[in-house]
Amino acid sequence: MPEKTARGGINACEPPFLRALENLGVGVREEIYTFDNPEKTSVLQRIRQVRKTAGRFRRILLAEDFDVFHINTSFETKSILRDAFSLFRLKGAGAKIFLKFHGSDVRLLEEGNAGLRFLIRFLVKTADGVGLLSTEEKRAFVRAGFDENKLFVVKNALPIIQRKSFPQVENFSAERPFRLIFASRLIPTKGLLETVRAVSILLGKGFDVRLDVLGSGETLEPAETLAKDLGVAGQIDFHGHVDEETVQEFYRAGGVLVFPTFHIEGFPMVVFNALQFGLPIVTTRIRAAADYLKEGENALFCEAKNPASAAEKIAEIIANKDLREKMRENNRALADEFTAEKIAPEYLEIYRKIS
């Protein structure tokens, strides 16, 4: 697990999953694997940290009787370097190793340099099982020549929420703007700038919309500048980083989640958390969203890097109350498929297969 202070989906989805495993009678021990280091940490300090952590885990596995060592990580260059060294130290320590990739840059399977591709092959071949969050990712690993039998498409558990304020009231009326929500770490590939442009297009076509942006990051300032340049700053509220409870309050208030991501998502928690609140969703057809969301039933899919496409899909939802109601009902039902209690037995079956 990463340190509790680290942002991201792992610290949201894994704790309820671990508790569900314990409720099934599985003995679970939680250890920190990735650290929330300050940006000024040197490369040498990081290398020492990785060596120390791998050594600690090896001693634990040799001293105690564990069946499976489950590592939450991601498939990108820095993580591959860290994980390859860790598995080199952990190989032969007793427990079977299960790698769960929370998102993956599958381009590295073909485009990485020879040294990196060698480490990838060592990493995947050394692991006894690999968890991937979408069939898209699994297909990429199979195409790269890896054994399909050790690749498993897995789910994330949704955090438990209190549904005290459900059902939601209808969000849109002639007296107030239709609310749009963008919630994410603000990096270019998440689609915030495209969302701001989509708002401009909608306002230009006479739609009364207002956008709430929840999150912080490098695209916050460019998005604020773009909103001013397009003359729509008055219809966009940038709230900065907010805690999970505050995000839930925005979700409870209703509207549409707009998330035109082209990031290396695995299982975008922003999208799947919104299911629990019955929010209609406009997003791109990638990774787990493509696996579990149905067009016109749970979401409308827009093209990546295409603000006009996002605006078109948002307008369709605004204009169709029946569609919003259908998505609200369907999405709450779909969210129940991702409870920790439902997915824990699926992981347990995988653990049994690899051990």
Query: Would you mind telling me the total number of residues written for the chain in this entry?
Result: 355
178-338 has the same fold as 10-157+339-354: yes
User: Element (H or E) spanning 98, and its range?
Assistant: strand 96-104
Residues 6+ apart with CB under 8 A from 35: 2, 3, 6, 49
Q: How far is residue 134's CA from residue 84's CA, in Å, rounded to a whole number?
A: 22
Q: CA–CA distance from 262 to each of 158, 189, 245, 268 (Å)?
A: 22, 5, 26, 11
Q: How far is residue 19's CA from residue 79's CA, in Å, rounded to a whole number?
A: 26
Query: pLDDT-based confidence at 254, cuts 50/70/90?
Result: confident
Q: Are 329 and 278 in contact (CB under 8 A)?
A: yes
- Identify the residue whose tokens are 């370097």: 81
Question: Domain 10-157+339-354 has what CATH class?
Answer: alpha beta
pLDDT above 90 covers a percentage of the chain that reads 77
- The pLDDT value given to residue 39: 64
Is residue 8 scored above 70 in pLDDT? Answer: no
pLDDT tens profile 164-180: 544 454 555 545 799 99
Residue 176 dihedral angles phi and psi, to the nearest 5°: -145, 155
Q: How far is residue 230's CA from residue 193's CA, in Å, rounded to a whole number?
A: 11
- The pLDDT value given to residue 113: 87
pLDDT above 70 covers a percentage of the chain that reads 94
Query: pLDDT-based confidence at 119, cuts 50/70/90?
Result: very high
**Distance, CA of 200 to chain centre:** 27
- The pLDDT value given to residue 167: 47
Is residue 215 scored above 60 in pLDDT? Answer: yes
pLDDT tens profile 314-326: 999 999 999 999 9
What kind of architecture, by CATH, is found in domain 178-338?
A: 3-Layer(aba) Sandwich (3.40)
Residues 6+ apart with CB under 8 A from 43: none
pLDDT tens profile 41-90: 777 888 888 899 999 999 999 999 999 999 999 999 999 999 999 999 99
- The pLDDT value given to residue 47: 84
Q: Are 284 and 257 in contact (CB under 8 A)?
A: no
Alpha helices, DSSP H, located in 64-189 = 77-90, 108-111, 114-126, 135-143
How is the chain split into domains, by residue range? Answer: 10-157+339-354, 178-338
